[in-house]
Amino acid sequence: MAMWRILKFAIGPLVLLLAVQSAEAHAFPDHSLPKVGSELASAPTMVRIWFDGDIEPVFSTLIVKSAMGSQVSAGQGRVSASNSTLLETTLPKTLPLGKYYVYWSVIARDGHHTEGRFPFRVK
Ligand SMILES: [Cu+2]
């Protein structure tokens, strides 16, 4: 009886922890700069998205396009060297007024792919 109680308390939380981890291991954006849907008086020079978990540098991309669909950001974007939850890219110094779309695509450490997009506007 005593052994069962010990096992129950030791194993219960462990099983729960594993279940929660596997269900939430996909990476989703936590917050970003510029913020989703934001309207900016001055053009940003970078776009950064912080995720809720580590993402794989080789397969994770961040691309900013104009409303007309032409890419304005540099290359494929990159995972920050100092923060493996931060995806970022640089923008040209003179970004014309208008609406832009940020396209992100990441592979989490569990190998699962997530992607999405959000707009911001420079006015
Ligand atoms: Cu996953």
Ligand 1: distance of its center to the CA of 91 in Å? 30
More confident residue, 79 or 23: 79
Task: List, in order of start, the domains of the chain with CATH numbers.
Answer: 27-122 (2.60.40.1220)
Ligand 1: distance of its center to the CA of 110 in Å? 5
Ligand 1: distance of its center to the CA of 23 in Å? 6
pLDDT in tens, 36-70: 999 999 999 999 999 999 999 999 999 999 999 99
Ligand 1: distance of its center to the CA of 76 in Å? 22
Ligand 1: distance of its center to the CA of 89 in Å? 24
Using alpha carbons, list the distances in angstroms from residue 17 to 4, 10, 13, 14: 20, 12, 6, 5
pLDDT in tens, 29-44: 999 999 999 999 999 9
